[in-house]
Structure 1
Amino acid sequence: MNRWLRFLKGFLVFALCVTVAVYWSGCGSSTNPPEAGHSHGPGEHDHDHEGEESHDHDHDHEGEAEHDHDHEEGEGGHGHAHSAPHGGTLIALGEHFAHLELVVDATAGKATVYALDGEAEKPLRLPQEKIVLSITRKVGDAVSSATLELLAVTNPLTGEQVGDSSEFSGESELLKDADRFEGVVQSVSIQGETLEGVRFA
């Protein structure tokens, strides 16, 4: 009996020692101090993003074409192009206050001139009976010249007649099969003005 009591007493003492040791090992663990370099004060947020490129918003758009707004015009830079209503070549008069449209039928050797307003849209009747062109054509090394009279065309539908017409027409052998030529309008009276030596190509 005494042996059993001694054994029980020894076991209780051993268990108590183990319990105390476990308790003190749990309570004795100290809080780890913060690592150096990571001390964040109130409001501090010091993110040093190494390797991250700075965003300086310096947008250098290389290769982007400059926006010049260079508007080319068929008859010489006047800000906007006009379309020839009969599919011919527009000849600007003065500061584009009026136009002549030259239409050539190279098969027949025929030329027709239409008198138009500043927008090359509405016909303008001219007080002259004819328009005279001096034309020059180069074929190879040979240069040929001719004077072409374009007579006023009458039109019963519009009431146009000689001395009050917007259309003038004539023929020349020099224009047959011609794909390129140049010339001069000798004289034209339009919109109250008379212009001489108006070149075209």
Structure 2
Amino acid sequence: MKICSQISAQAAYLVLAFSVSISGCGQGTSDESSPQAAASGDSHEHPKEGPHHGALIELGEEEYHAELVHDEHAGTVTVYLLDAAGKVAVPTDAAELTINLSHDGQSEQFGLPASPDAGDPPGQSSRFASGDPDLAEELDHEHADAQLVVTIGGKQFRGVVAHDHDHDDHDH
């Protein structure tokens, strides 16, 4: 009898442990705004714009971000490379990055040469800029598809450049 009661007690304990683990599943684990999620880095809350007030572009599996600043009045396009949170500059030794653009069946490539920020190490840049009026104009086309390509730490990253519909001087 003693053996049966020990087995019953062990079985009851296993059933209880199993029940507790099942009832806990899904509760609080997917809430990205919870303090536990934020502390573990699981939160996917990202700022909508970068530190220079430009649009953020995801690179890789959120390994990095690029911030695209399109100054329509000056006709310039500047891209800043940022960390996974989209906040801190990430310098790279790439001499330029590329924006591949497709509009009305035509494909074009635009190179943005490195234009190092003051805080970038020698031989590296976290900022890339272009004064090419064609690039600035093409980025304004609502049906243009654009992709940014850059190498960081010897690895190539690509990111989709979304069209910004919040231009002050456009009626979209």
| Counterpart in the other structure of 2:73 | 107
Closer, same or farther: CA 85–117 of 1 in aligned 2, 3 Å: same
Q: 1:176 is paired with a residue of what secondary structure? A: helix
Shift of 1:182: 3.0
Shift of 1:197: 4.2
Shift of 1:153: 0.7
Matches within 5 A, 1:116-135: 116-135=82-101
RCO greater where, 1 or 2, for CA within 8 Å and sep 6 or more?
2
2:115 pairs with 112, 131, 153, which one?
Answer: 153
Closer, same or farther: CA 129–199 of 1 in aligned 2, 3 Å: same
| Counterpart in the other structure of 2:148 | 185
Aligned equivalents of 1:113, 1:152: Cα separation in 2: 9
Give yes or no for contact 2:67–2:82 (8 Å, CA) kept in 1: yes
Shift of 1:144: 5.0
Shift of 1:135: 1.8
Amino acid at match of 1:173: D
Gaps of 5+ in 2: 1-29, 34-42, 163-172
Q: 2:116 is paired with a residue of what secondary structure? A: coil
TM-score by length of 1: 0.50
Q: Which has the higher Rg, Structure 1 or Structure 2?
A: 1
| Counterpart in the other structure of 1:167 | 127
Tell me the number of residue pairs that the alignment of Structure 1 and Structure 2 aligns: 120
Matches within 5 A, 1:3-152: 79-82=44-47, 83-137=49-103, 142=104, 145-152=107-114
Across the aligned residues of Structure 1 and Structure 2, the Cα RMSD in angstroms comes to: 2.8
Gaps of 5+ in 1: 1-67, 72-77
Aligned equivalents of 2:120, 2:157: Cα separation in 1: 28
Structure 1 or 2: more helix by fraction: 2
Give yes or no for contact 2:97–2:151 (8 Å, CA) kept in 1: no
Aligned equivalents of 1:90, 1:166: Cα separation in 2: 14
State, as a whole percentage, how many aligned pairs show the same letter: 27
